[in-house]
A and B are shown apart, each in its own frame.
Chain A
Amino acid sequence: MSVQSPISSVNDFVVRFANVNGSGSASANELFARSILRHGVPVSPRNIFPSNIQGLPTWYEVRVTEEGHLGARGGVDMMVAMNPQTWDKDVASIEAGGYLFYDSTKPMPTSKFRADINVIGVPLTAITNSTYTDPRQRQLFKNIIYLGAMCALLDMDPKIVEQLISEQYKGKEKLLSSNVHALHLGRDWALQNLKCPIGLQVKKADKVGDRIFMEGNSAAALGAVYGGATVCAWYPITPSSSVAEAFTSHCKKLRHDPETGKAKYAIVQGEDELASIGMVIGASWNGARAFTATSGPGVSLMTEFIGLSYFAEIPGVIMNIQRAGPSTGMPTRTQQCDIIACAYASHGDTKHILLFPEDPAEAFEFAAQSFDLAERLQTMIFLMLDLDIGMNHRLCRPLKWDDARQYDRGKVMTAEMLDEPGRDFGRYLDVDGDGIPYRTYPGTHPTKGSFFTRGTSRDRYARYSEEGAVYADNMQRLVRKFETAQDMVPRPLQANATKPTKYGVIYFGSTAPAMDEAIGLLEARGHQLDRMRIRAFPFHSSLASFIADHDFVYVVEQNRDAQLRQLIVNENDIDPVRLVPILHYDGTPITARFIASAIGDHQDHLKVTPLRKAVS
């Protein structure tokens, strides 16, 4: 029916499922993504969901990518349009030559279709209604039936899907067989009534390797388990709640005393974010490894305590799963918009340590490391994830742990140390010149090492003081401590272009997969870029060198105000003209297409031969 030739692509396309929130589609859609993965073909799925429980539109997008491009691509090659509410917009978003899969039980007017796409109708409602009588079953199995039809259309191996279903319903035989039955119902109907396969096809490959498929929030929570966190205090907020929930389920499996069955952890759902961070600070002050997980609005509420953590030098870890702000913003959309808010959180002069993991594997590593950093540096550490990493399954390298690794509990004076002759304990005494003083845990010694922790100014021996010199001395030591941190936090990673270039690009966090892909697209357009992925604040000295080594550097980030760029300009005294902002902030994950187009256009303008050169 179309003049446009149908898109033909093996293992490289985007399928988007348009569903209604609460219809049970999520598990069927995830099954689809996992099935492709089991074909040995990398996938990159994303949930696009509203701040709502039931009834509003929700989408699940699966990018099938044998090349392993894990960022969002943009565009849709096949739409599984299961939501009449969003039909028009969904149909409009399909690439020319793409495919529209829909429930053809009720005839649709031709005006509802497009001439340049391929329409595939399956009477899903009719099939389910003739098979099932229970309304809930009809709803749930309809999802599996369309999965079965997709299986036929994309030439997927049904055995792989069956295997996954059997793993999912292990021990629940009844559910297993009914799901497999529904799968074949859809598949058989498609094979008998449609031209299968279509232009989009999944072929077995060997491109997944030993990689794992995991959500960033779950990985960060597991990192907290491995990093020795024993106290988690939290308050529910999208998109961070699944961190605490994952920590709970990981702990239930991994952290109970085998003999007594008792918990080697404590998880408290606070009454708000203020209480959550207060508990973290109380627990850390008392020598436990403690963390909270939150998002932007929670960080705003926590800022007073964050200032206390900085000034009174109490460790703590905040996992900030960023979402689009300001205010309530777009609670279920992704952004990297809390960089400034976290780096300088609280009134007065403060600076905080930020870690920027790129994917679940790094979220795991950095989460574990953040507790060492917090205790070594006696300050708050922010693990900066975002919704894109946190709430989507991401293919990443397997998690690793070195069993020889010990926790770095930092400078803690024990009773034995306090009793050493000539030992001087001053809570805020910089004995080693690195700005980091010793602390003692409450209850350490009957007569030595106690001190009064306070948010007010005090001298090196923790005695209250409003003397200007004493205050300034302490503030300078805190600057020294922050400089010490520079060499402890994860360093930036640099990769040079295939040919020498005058231009560089800086990026961080969830932008990484899109950036990696964009580099290839830009090279194809003739643009070479050296790149540096920032992994922490304070910035390592190599960042300043990287900027100095290039005529100018693009800074790619997912916020409106170029927050990382601002931080770099501010902290490294860089001429802002040298840093060109590339900003994506509509709440969708940044794409390689966007980056390549924005940087490519900017580069094209540079290629106009300057007048001076042309004349000379």
Chain B
Amino acid sequence: MPGLVPGIHVFLFPGHDEPGAAGVVMTYIAKPKFHHPGLPKNDLGYTHRDYEGKISTLCAGCGHDSITASIIEACFELSIEPHRVAKISGIGCSSKTPDYFLGNSHGFNSVHGRMPSVLTGANLANRDLIYLGVSGDGDSASIGFGQFAHSIRRGVNMTYIVENNGVYGLTKGQFSATADRGSKSKKGVMNTDNAIDLVAIALQLGASFVARSFSGDKTQLVPLIAAAIRHKGASFIDVISPCIAFNNHAGSTKSFDYVREHNDAVNRLDVITSRDPITVDYAPGSVQVVEQHDGTRLALRKIDADYDANDRLAAMTFLQKHAAKGQVVTGLLYVDPDAEDMHTHLDTVETPLNTLEAKELCPGSSALDKINASLR
């Protein structure tokens, strides 16, 4: 048997012919299927429960669980068919979360820092699904900084969410590259390295939808996620998501308290998916309406009256100025209503590539005969 290493094989599971069954549920806690019959339903007839996943194994109070809840809410409100989403992540606490939402979607917990390439490939194969990339600050700002940058550059049609807590949670509290210079670790160590601001980088690299939010502000976050999903192009959302275990102390700039105190929201967003006229009464000059390719309208209720979410350069300047003052700028920071995605650039067929069959892909023997003839 060339496939087996010769010798004695010790099989560790006598009598365990079916290891998938009882006895191994230790790490798998089933969620009760029961739910209230009066739960509200969306346009497709689905309830919130249809967008949920497994029970979270993250620490109680983790900011990431609030983001999970916001993703569920956004997908419910958009009436997305749950199985039409592909959830892709890297490695880390944040990357575990796709298991906790959209249980009827395929998920892919890939390799540390490599979510963007896996997502890019998946998107190349089938342009019709909705791609949700979930990553963390270690995953995207350190080991996967290059892949983050290049997926944004390429305009991959995706919603790229970084659950940003400034630390490595799973390995117990080391600084990540988004930790601010001068912030303190739980052990009292001062961070002396400069921070990477993923929002600033995303803007510079041409992301056509850029937002920042806070896991503790669901009313801001849910419409941002919904708008990003409806955006055709590279959408990036940096969500400050405090780590309850390792980065929620005094001296941290990613703690609940710090972010609440320094949150500088430039706007509030309403996502209007219907074609109906906007009926909400906005005070004149207080709202900026952006229409996206698919007809979705984004009504930006201005908090900062001078902020123009269609001006990339102004957004970059604004961010730098406010960051220097220690403020965390949140809201929809930039959106390009005329965004193009990678498939537009590649001029690929409308049909997903993964559905093409031999008759569409294989040139056949007569074409080969011609090629042979040209090689003599």
**A306-336 interface mask toward B, CB cutoff 8 Å, 1 = contact, 0 = none?**
0010000000000000000000000000000
In the assembled complex, B279 has its CB within 8 A of some CB on chain A = no
In the assembled complex, B81 has its CB within 8 A of some CB on chain A = yes
User: What is the distance, in angstroms, from A432's C-beta to the closest C-beta of chain B?
Assistant: 16
Residues A465 and B27 in contact, CB atoms below 8 Å apart: yes
**B308-332 interface mask toward A, CB cutoff 8 Å, 1 = contact, 0 = none?**
0000000000000000000000000
**B293-312 interface mask toward A, CB cutoff 8 Å, 1 = contact, 0 = none?**
00000000000000000000
**A199-239 interface mask toward B, CB cutoff 8 Å, 1 = contact, 0 = none?**
00000000010111110000000100111101101000000
User: What is the distance, in angstroms, from B285's C-beta to the closest C-beta of chain A?
Assistant: 43
Interface residues of B in 74-89 (CB under 8 A from A): 81-84, 86, 88
Residues A226 and B363 in contact, CB atoms below 8 Å apart: yes
Residues B117 and A270 in contact, CB atoms below 8 Å apart: yes
Residues A443 and B129 in contact, CB atoms below 8 Å apart: yes
Residues B117 and A486 in contact, CB atoms below 8 Å apart: no
Name the CB-closest residue of A to B154: A268
The complex places the Cα of A450 from the Cα of B104 at a distance, in Å, of 6
In the assembled complex, B198 has its CB within 8 A of some CB on chain A = no
Interface residues of B in 1-37 (CB under 8 A from A): 1-4, 6, 11-13, 16, 18-20, 23-24, 26-28
Residues A265 and B362 in contact, CB atoms below 8 Å apart: no
Residues B83 and A473 in contact, CB atoms below 8 Å apart: no
The complex places the Cα of A469 from the Cα of B16 at a distance, in Å, of 8
In the assembled complex, A83 has its CB within 8 A of some CB on chain B = no
The complex places the Cα of A305 from the Cα of B144 at a distance, in Å, of 14
In the assembled complex, B107 has its CB within 8 A of some CB on chain A = yes
Residues B353 and A446 in contact, CB atoms below 8 Å apart: no
Name the CB-closest residue of A to B11: A472
In the assembled complex, A563 has its CB within 8 A of some CB on chain B = no
User: What is the distance, in angstroms, from A584's C-beta to the closest C-beta of chain B?
Assistant: 26
In the assembled complex, B146 has its CB within 8 A of some CB on chain A = yes
User: What is the distance, in angstroms, from B326's C-beta to the closest C-beta of chain A?
Assistant: 33
In the assembled complex, B110 has its CB within 8 A of some CB on chain A = yes
**B76-118 interface mask toward A, CB cutoff 8 Å, 1 = contact, 0 = none?**
0000011110101000000000110001111111110010111
**A404-446 interface mask toward B, CB cutoff 8 Å, 1 = contact, 0 = none?**
0111000000000000000000100100000000001111111
In the assembled complex, B126 has its CB within 8 A of some CB on chain A = yes
The complex places the Cα of A470 from the Cα of B119 at a distance, in Å, of 29
Contacts of B128 in A (CB 8 A): 443
In the assembled complex, A165 has its CB within 8 A of some CB on chain B = no
In the assembled complex, B357 has its CB within 8 A of some CB on chain A = yes
The complex places the Cα of A275 from the Cα of B209 at a distance, in Å, of 23
Residues A262 and B118 in contact, CB atoms below 8 Å apart: no
In the assembled complex, B187 has its CB within 8 A of some CB on chain A = no
- Residue of B6, B110, B121, B129 near A280 (CB, 8 A) is B121
Name the CB-closest residue of B to A573: B6
In the assembled complex, B241 has its CB within 8 A of some CB on chain A = no
Contacts of B26 in A (CB 8 A): 465, 467
Name the CB-closest residue of B to A276: B117
**B356-367 interface mask toward A, CB cutoff 8 Å, 1 = contact, 0 = none?**
111011111101
**A437-481 interface mask toward B, CB cutoff 8 Å, 1 = contact, 0 = none?**
000111111110011111110011101111111101100100110
Residues B354 and A482 in contact, CB atoms below 8 Å apart: no
Residues A479 and B3 in contact, CB atoms below 8 Å apart: yes
In the assembled complex, B172 has its CB within 8 A of some CB on chain A = no
Binds B, one of A74-82, A109-117, A393-401, A521-529: A393-401
The complex places the Cα of A213 from the Cα of B376 at a distance, in Å, of 6
In the assembled complex, A488 has its CB within 8 A of some CB on chain B = no
The complex places the Cα of A544 from the Cα of B28 at a distance, in Å, of 45
Residue count of chain A within 8 Å CB distance of chain B: 102
In the assembled complex, A274 has its CB within 8 A of some CB on chain B = yes
Residues A450 and B124 in contact, CB atoms below 8 Å apart: no
Residue count of chain B within 8 Å CB distance of chain A: 78
Given contacts A257-B349, A272-B146, A274-B117, contact A304 B28 (CB under 8 A): no
- Residue of B121, B154, B346 near A282 (CB, 8 A) is B121
In the assembled complex, B208 has its CB within 8 A of some CB on chain A = no
Contacts of B354 in A (CB 8 A): 230, 283, 286-288, 441
- Residue of B19, B342, B376 near A473 (CB, 8 A) is B19
Name the CB-closest residue of A to B147: A275
Residues A282 and B122 in contact, CB atoms below 8 Å apart: yes
Residues A572 and B125 in contact, CB atoms below 8 Å apart: no
The complex places the Cα of A456 from the Cα of B104 at a distance, in Å, of 20
In the assembled complex, B120 has its CB within 8 A of some CB on chain A = yes
User: What is the distance, in angstroms, from A220's C-beta to the closest C-beta of chain B?
Assistant: 14
In the assembled complex, A279 has its CB within 8 A of some CB on chain B = yes
The complex places the Cα of A561 from the Cα of B3 at a distance, in Å, of 22
In the assembled complex, B368 has its CB within 8 A of some CB on chain A = yes
In the assembled complex, B150 has its CB within 8 A of some CB on chain A = yes
Residues A282 and B119 in contact, CB atoms below 8 Å apart: yes
Name the CB-closest residue of B to A257: B349
Contacts of A407 in B (CB 8 A): 357-358
- Residue of B18, B84, B348, B371 near A399 (CB, 8 A) is B371
Name the CB-closest residue of A to B375: A212
Contacts of B355 in A (CB 8 A): 287
- 8 example contacts (A-B, Cβ-Cβ < 8 A) are as follows A230-B354, A230-B356, A264-B348, A274-B114, A275-B150, A407-B358, A444-B83, A470-B13
Q: Interface on B for A, CB 8 Å cutoff?
A: 1-4, 6, 11-13, 16, 18-20, 23-24, 26-28, 81-84, 86, 88, 98-99, 103-111, 114, 116-126, 128-129, 146-147, 149-150, 154, 342-343, 346-350, 353-358, 360-365, 367-368, 371-372, 375-376
Closest A-B pairs by Cβ, 5 of them = A282-B121, A278-B117, A469-B13, A288-B125, A279-B121
